[in-house]
Each structure stands twice: as structure tokens, then as C-alpha cells.
């Protein structure tokens, strides 16, 4: 079972999506600073890596503010150089769009962005540093099998759901939720990062002047996304992969969150891509849904009636999902992985379900009203009681 699971998402899909990005405002209002005037490298600190991440579209390095007595570390995400086929104005717009969205977000489970910096022809996003890096690394190392408990996994899942719920309630869809874009802080808290292919599906873009840098302004009708591949294959929902019609990006995020939970649980996803034409595992999954919907056209899943699905969803397979979580969690994930996006659970549905209500979570639901750009967890400790130890083993 494990050998057939998907591996780390390939590079390039997110880059393609950036090039076919949604229509952006004509002009962004974004303040910038000079990187070299404000920051210095951490090469003088023993045992501390200078480069902490590389991807298809950026390199992330550790730096510190000059003349900062606290010597706080920051993650400096330096974007790829402009492609030769891209116009300079389009490239700059996309960089400013990603930064202004990220900078507008204020939630305990979303990485904070503090400044957009330039250095010559390069652009960089100054972000909070998450010491333990990508969640993908800890799944790959087997921590969810050997170190983290079911309570740990469920808490991480609830943190992810809260972060996505905050995004959706403020008119933003991430569109590339995956383990590589979920980071772990020094306190063992999960944070969502990388808004390079995110979409403002309702309200004003936070990069325009009249929003004053705030997201969720003048919320209105839902704007659907144009057809096109966006995200990383194992996490992309079937309606997006089909590419036939416009789609609601919120449903894509819900699907991806469920895949994240399954990947944390089993060390890999249930299929390589959610296409019945190319993936035999997803074809069997879709067949189980289709057969059940013929007998249950209302699609109502109950404690005693749900689709009989194959593989890890089946109660007949050793080490299945129910044995590694609970029947209630299994039903919840099935609802999140409904092949029909219109019938799929929303992120609000998921968080308000009984199973998630009973999951203890060791992070705050939101920052205090007067907290604008937290650089530490001091303001959170007043609101929460630590229930889990999510710090990975050394």
C-alpha cells in the first residue's frame, strides 16, 4: 500500500499557474524597502543554515535585521528572476499580489509577512521564521507513525482547517494547500505559507490603496476561477483537473485539506491524481461514489449509510482509515472528498462537525483584536492551554 502512494509534488505546476494568474488590479499600493540596508545574513551563527528552502519559484534564506539586539531570525523568500517571455510589469504585479495578500493575513495558523524588499532586480518577502520547516519533512521521516499521536495529527488538522476557514471568510482561496506549504514553528504550531497562486474570490484585492492593506473588504458575490491546472497534482480536486469549466476555489482547498490529513495518516496520498482516466485508484474510488449515489440520490451520508469505497477507506483493509482515526473522521473526510464540488463539505461545515468540535487544539482561534503583526507567541499564551507537544524529535 505504502509503495504505491504519491511522493513529493513535482515542481512547475505552481509556476505555470502564476503565469496564467487571475486578472490583477492595474496598480498595487505596496511599500518596499532595500533588503541590504535592512537585513544581514546569519552566516556568522554556528550550525545555522543560511538557505532553509528551495522551490520552483523562490529560494528562502535566513537573515536578521541590522542593529537588532534580539537578533530575531527572519525567512527571506527571494522570488525567481523574471522569465524572458514575461513582461516586467506583469512579473512585478504578480510579486506584489502575492505579498499584499500574505501581508494582509492575521491568523495564528498563517505565516506572517512583514516587508517586501528589493535588491537590484530581485524581489524578496520578509516572513516569520518557522524553525521546524515543512510538514512534508516530518511525514517523510515517519514522525506521524513513530512520534506524533492521533491527537497530534487531529490537532494539526484542526489548525489547518482554522487557517483555511479564516482565508475563505476573508475572500481568499489558497489553491495550493499541501504538506510542503505547511510549516512548523518552534512551539510546534502549524502555519500555512506560499500564496503565489492564491485567488481573491470575493471582495477587494488587499493590494489596492482603498483597502489600506486589509483583506476581506467589501465582500460580495463569489467570483469563479477560470479553467486551468493550479496546485500540485496529488492534492488537486477532480473538477480542477478536468479543466472544462470555471470552478469555486474554496472547494479545491477543502479537497486538498482532506488529502493532507490522509497523507499525514498513511505517509502518502490515496492516489497520484484525481482523474479516473489516468489513475486506477481514483477510478475505483469514483466508481464507489457513483454506485452509492444511484441508490442514494440525495447524497446524505449518515452514521449508518455512506459510500462503500476501496483501499484505505474500506473497513476490510488492514490498517485502514477507521483503524487509524475513527469512523466519524472517516465519514468527514469522505464528505470533503466528494467528487461533486457542489456537494462537497465547505470548510465551515467541516469545522462545525461534531468530530472536529471535540478535537482539542493547542493554538488560539484568532489573534487578539489589537494584535497587528505578531512576532512571537506571547499574545497567544494568554488565550490557550498547551495540550499537546508537537515539537518533533531530534
Binding site per annotation, positions for ATP: 77
Q: Which of 111, 119, 114 is nearest to 53 (CA)?
A: 111
Rg (CA), the chain: 21
8 alpha carbon, distance to own chain's centre: 15
Q: How long is the chain?
A: 394
8 Å CB contact between 328 and 355: yes
Per DSSP (E only), the strands in the chain are 32-34, 39-41, 51-54, 58-65, 73-79, 113-119, 122-128, 172-173, 182-184, 190-192, 199-200
**DSSP structural state of residue 209:** G
Which residues contribute to the annotated binding site? 77
3-state secondary structure (DSSP) of residue 60: strand
The Cα–Cα gap between 132 and 153 comes to 16
Amino acid at each position: 500500500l505504502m509503495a504505491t502512494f504519491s511522493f513529493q509534488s513535482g515542481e512547475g505546476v505552481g509556476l505555470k499557474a502564476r503565469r496564467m494568474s487571475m486578472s490583477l488590479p492595474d496598480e498595487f499600493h505596496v511599500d518596499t524597502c532595500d533588503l541590504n540596508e535592512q537585513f544581514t545574513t546569519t552566516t556568522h551563527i554556528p550550525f545555522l543554515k543560511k538557505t532553509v528552502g528551495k522551490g520552483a519559484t523562490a529560494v528562502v534564506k535566513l537573515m536578521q535585521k541590522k542593529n537588532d539586539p534580539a537578533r530575531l531570525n527572519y525567512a527571506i523568500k527571494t522570488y525567481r528572476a523574471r522569465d524572458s517571455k514575461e513582461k516586467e510589469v506583469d512579473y512585478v504585479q504578480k510579486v506584489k499580489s502575492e505579498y499584499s495578500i500574505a501581508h494582509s493575513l492575521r491568523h495564528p495558523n498563517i505565516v506572517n509577512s512583514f516587508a517586501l524588499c528589493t535588491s537590484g532586480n530581485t524581489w524578496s518577502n520578509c516572513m516569520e521564521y518557522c524553525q521546524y520547516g515543512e510538514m512534508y519533512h516530518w511525514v517523510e521521516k515517519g514522525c506521524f507513525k513513530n512520534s506524533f499521536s492521533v491527537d497530534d495529527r487531529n490537532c494539526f488538522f484542526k489548525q489547518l482547517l482554522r487557517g483555511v476557514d479564516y482565508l475563505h471568510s476573508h475572500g481568499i482561496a489558497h489553491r495550493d494547500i499541501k504538506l510542503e506549504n505547511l510549516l512548523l514553528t518552534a512551539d510546534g504550531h502549524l502555519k500555512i505559507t506560499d500564496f503565489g497562486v492564491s485567488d481573491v474570490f470575493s471582495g477587494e484585492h488587499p493590494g489596492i490603496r482603498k483597502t489600506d492593506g486589509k483583506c476581506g473588504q467589501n465582500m460580495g458575490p463569489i467570483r469563479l476561477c477560470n479553467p486551468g491546472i493550479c496546485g500540485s497534482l496529488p492534492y488537486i480536486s477532480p473538477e480542477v483537473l478536468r479543466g472544462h469549466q470555471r470552478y469555486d476555489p474554496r472547494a479545491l482547498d477543502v479537497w486538498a485539506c482532506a488529502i493532507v490529513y490522509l497523507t499525514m495518516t498513511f505517509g502518502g496520498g490515496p492516489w497520484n491524481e484525481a482523474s479516473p482516466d489516468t489513475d486506477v485508484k481514483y477510478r475505483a474510488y469514483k466508481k464507489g461514489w457513483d454506485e452509492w449515489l444511484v441508490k442514494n440520490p440525495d447524497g446524505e451520508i449518515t452514521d449508518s449509510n455512506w459510500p462503500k469505497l476501496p483501499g484505505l477507506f474500506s473497513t476490510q483493509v488492514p490498517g485502514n482509515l477507521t483503524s487509524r482515526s475513527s469512523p466519524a473522521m472517516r465519514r468527514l473526510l469522505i464528505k470533503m472528498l466528494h467528487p461533486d464540488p457542489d456537494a462537497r463539505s465547505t470548510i465551515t461545515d467541516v469545522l462545525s462537525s461534531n468530530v472536529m468540535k471535540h478535537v482539542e487544539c493547542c493554538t488560539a482561534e484568532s489573534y487578539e483584536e489589537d494584535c497587528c503583526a505578531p512576532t512571537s507567541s506571547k499574545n497567544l499564551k494568554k488565550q490557550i492551554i498547551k495540550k499537546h507537544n508537537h515539537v518533533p524529535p531530534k
